[in-house]
Amino acid sequence: MRRVAIVIGIVLVLCALPAPAQQRSVTLPLDKEGLVDLHSAALANEIAAMRAEIKANGWTFTVGVNPALRYDLNQLCGRRVELLPPDQILQEPAVRSVSAMAKPVKPTPTPTPPTGLLSYYIGLFTPPKDQGSCGSCWAFGTIDEAETAVLKHNGAPVGVVSGNAITASASDPDMSEQYVLSCNPYGYSCSGGNNALAFLTGANPGALPEACFEYTATDATCTYCSSPTWWHLSGWDYLTSDTTIPTVGAIKSAIDQYGAVTAYVYVDRTFQAYTGGVYNNTKTYRYTNHQIQLVGWDDSKGAWLLKNSWGTGWGIQGYMWITYGSCRVGEGAAWATF
């Protein structure tokens, strides 16, 4: 009887746990290409449910149908902490309590900015790209930071934000994400990975041009043009570590000094469906699943300007305003130099 009671207890606990956020809440109809049908009634109903949740929580962002919704989140979110070298993983597990993942909490008060930093700053970055259905966000986040390092070295102008119009610093350099995806020695792939800036430094040759190894959103064989131009990074480092979140002040200081930082965030379906406003999801998450770049901040919004890799049809031309601390944004923040 005792054994039966224990089994029943385990079943009840498992039933009480929230469904993983990277899975769709319903099975959505597919189109002729095998992607989610963006015109289906089922997707419209899910968007309506998200809007009701946003209203009930008093959040200030909007959601709607966008091209990123063609994919499952597990196709887009390729952060894989289990692939880190053992010496980079903290003894404390990244997922401490699955049952607490979606527990609503009160918004964190906006921290007082450190002395000497502006209340508003936009850094150095290239335009957003589109990773497609490959879980290569880690390669895009890595290349985003490498491109920023070159922009900083070359004295490029900062980006400009005017309302919902966001202009990147420059479109050149345009480095190859496919090279990092296909040629890295860490086992990272379309099935996921982590920050790979180390692959562009040290004894490695660096990054090469997009035209030399064009992106295919597949685990293509490592083959690229002969005699490429190389951008070899002179250095990189985490602000704290791959699995911890630096302070807001530390991230601001790094963006101010290096132009931008690559970092992680936890993505759920409301993030995927984001179309505008300040993303201020107040749910508690215990780990991250997606790599992005933080390219600026605005204290009047209490938010970072986040650059994503889901194309310009997502969010605000491929960007998002996300409040400090939301969804573990900033975990694993790292900089690079050229």
Query: What's the average model confidence in pLDDT over 20-40?
Result: 76
Q: How far apart are CA 168 and CA 150, in angstroms?
A: 14
In a domain, 115, yes or no: yes
Q: How far apart are CA 261 and CA 238, in angstroms?
A: 9
- Token pair 């490029």: residue: 156
Percent of the chain with pLDDT over 70: 84
What is the end-to-end Cα distance of the chain in Å, rounded? 66
Which of these is catalytic: 134, 212, 308, 327? 308
Q: Decide if 327 contacts 266 (C-beta within 8 A).
A: yes
In a domain, 9, yes or no: no
1 compared with 223, residue with greater pLDDT: 223
Q: Which of 2-16, 80-94, 207-221 has the lowest mean pLDDT?
A: 2-16
Task: Please give the DSSP secondary-structure letter assigned to residue 109.
Answer: P
Q: Which of 22-36, 80-94, 218-232, 274-288 has the lowest mean pLDDT?
A: 80-94
Bond prior to 173 in cis (omega within 30° of 0): yes
Q: How far apart are CA 21 and CA 5, in angstroms?
A: 30
Cross-strand bridge partners of residue 336: 236
- Count Cβ atoms within 10 A of the Cβ of residue 232 and give its class: 0-12 exposed, 13-18 middle, 19 or more buried: middle
Which of these is catalytic: 77, 190, 289, 290? 290
Q: How far apart are CA 137 and CA 155, in angstroms?
A: 27
Q: Decide if 337 contacts 233 (C-beta within 8 A).
A: yes
Cross-strand bridge partners of residue 167: 160
- How many beta carbons lie within 10 A of that of residue 241, not counting itself? 16
Cβ neighbors of 184 (< 8 A, separation 6 or more) are 139, 193, 196, 199
In a domain, 11, yes or no: no
Q: How far apart are CA 187 and CA 78, in angstroms?
A: 13
Q: Decide if 36 contacts 42 (C-beta within 8 A).
A: no
In a domain, 201, yes or no: yes
pLDDT at 8: 42
pLDDT at 87: 66
pTM of the model: 0.87
Is 137 annotated in the active site? yes
The radius of gyration computed from the CA coordinates of the chain, to the nearest angstrom, equals: 20
> pLDDT tens for residues 97-114?
222 333 333 333 444 445
Which of these is catalytic: 137, 183, 190, 212? 137
Which CATH number do you get for residue 225? 3.90.70.10
Asked whether residue 91 carries a pLDDT value surpassing 70, the answer given is no
Asked whether residue 41 carries a pLDDT value surpassing 90, the answer given is yes
Average pLDDT, the chain: 88
Q: How far apart are CA 108 and CA 96, in angstroms?
A: 20
In a domain, 7, yes or no: no
Q: How far apart are CA 27 and CA 67, in angstroms?
A: 17
pLDDT at 22: 41
Is 194 annotated in the active site? no
In a domain, 12, yes or no: no
pLDDT at 6: 43
Phi, psi of 212, deg, nearest 5: -80, -25
- Token pair 């993030």: residue: 271
Q: How far apart are CA 258 and CA 125, in angstroms?
A: 11
In a domain, 10, yes or no: no
The total number of structural domains in the chain stands at 1
3 compared with 83, residue with greater pLDDT: 83
> pLDDT tens for residues 290-304?
999 999 999 999 999
The range of the structural domain enclosing residue 108 comes to: 20-337
Q: Which of 5-9, 36-40, 155-159, 196-200 has the lowest mean pLDDT?
A: 5-9
104 compared with 281, residue with greater pLDDT: 281
Scanning the chain, the segments in alpha helix (DSSP H) are 2-16, 41-57, 73-76, 137-153, 177-183, 248-258, 269-272
> pLDDT tens for residues 230-268?
999 999 999 999 999 999 999 999 999 999 999 999 999
- How many beta carbons lie within 10 A of that of residue 29, not counting itself? 12
Is 45 annotated in the active site? no
Task: Provide the pLDDT confidence category of residue 197 given band limits of 50, 70 and 90.
Answer: very high
pLDDT at 35: 94
In a domain, 73, yes or no: yes
Cα angle for residues 4, 7, 10 (degrees, 5° grid): 150
